[in-house]
Amino acid sequence: MDDPYVGTNISGIPFWESGEFNNTVALYDRLGFQLMIHAIGDRAISQALDAFAYAAKVNGTTGRRHRIEHAEVPKLADLRRMHDLGVIVVTTPMFANPDETVLTNFDPLLGPKRAPHADSFKIFDDAGVAQAFSSDWDAFNFSPIEGIAVAVTRVTADGKPPGGWYPAGRISVEAALRHYTRDGAYATFDEAHRGTLTKGKLADFVVLSQDLTKIDPLQIRGTKVLLTVMGGGDTWRSPEFR
């Protein structure tokens, strides 16, 4: 972190010296790799962006779609850099599930200047930053339905806290669906084959028990998968599916 956690003198320990990190990222960028950097705090995110910018400058490369995994607590000033560098943030909706650990530990340690935009998926969308959703399994529930519910409501399964944890960070159901599908395919260079139900792409899809765009967001968690289709063939069918 740029500044210590509230009430401590601890701001984390860097894993990399900046010069070495920049050179390493530039090496793999030059070799054609798409890099996926795990960065959560504001300082780590800035360091990753510095390295991506350095690699683009020394190698003259574009279109690598380098990624930052999680990107939980970005500096707002870095959002423009993410956009301009074409960086993809691969965020984890379940990180915003405001359970006891989040409310009594994570939130107060970040403090009032950082917590309001922590795990805010909307700030990336508003800045035009490419964003894809992930599960971070097995640290968290891998269910996209759970992830969509959290991204849209920012409440726990029992509806707490009322109104959501920093509700300004909520996104629409449509945006959450895109981040799990179309944008996930873009993050892996697979948009020509999957991510949307389009002629010529893989027929991979699920049939749900409810239309997520037409129900109360607090009812999303009750949604069931009725049918799973991969490559045009059924791989799972609920007895409830007719």
- Render 140-185 in DSSP notation, one character per residue: S---HHHHHHHHHH---TT--STT-SSGGG---HHHHHHHHTHHHH
* Structural tokens at position 97: 């599930």
For residue 139, the model assigns a pLDDT of 85
196: alpha, beta or left, given left = phi > 0 and alpha = psi -120 to 50? beta
Nearest to 154 by CA among 70, 216, 112, 93: 93
For residue 234, the model assigns a pLDDT of 95
pLDDT in tens, the chain (242 residues): 999 999 999 999 999 999 999 999 999 999 999 999 999 999 999 999 999 999 999 999 999 999 999 999 999 999 999 999 999 999 999 999 999 999 999 999 999 999 999 999 999 999 999 999 999 998 888 899 999 999 999 999 999 999 999 999 999 999 999 999 999 999 999 999 999 999 999 999 999 999 999 999 999 999 999 999 999 999 999 999 98
| Residue type, position 21, single letter | F
Question: 24 vs 14, 16, 21, 215, 239, CA distance in Å?
Answer: 15, 10, 5, 48, 52
* DSSP bridge partners of 208: 225
* Structural tokens at position 241: 């599916």
Nearest to 152 by CA among 207, 211, 97: 97
Q: Which fold has domain 18-197?
A: TIM Barrel (3.20.20)
Contact 195, 182 (CB under 8 A): yes
Q: What is the dihedral of CA 216, 221, 226, 228, to 10 degrees?
A: 110
Burial (0-12, 13-18, 19+ Cβ within 10 Å), 28 = middle
| Residue type, position 227, single letter | L
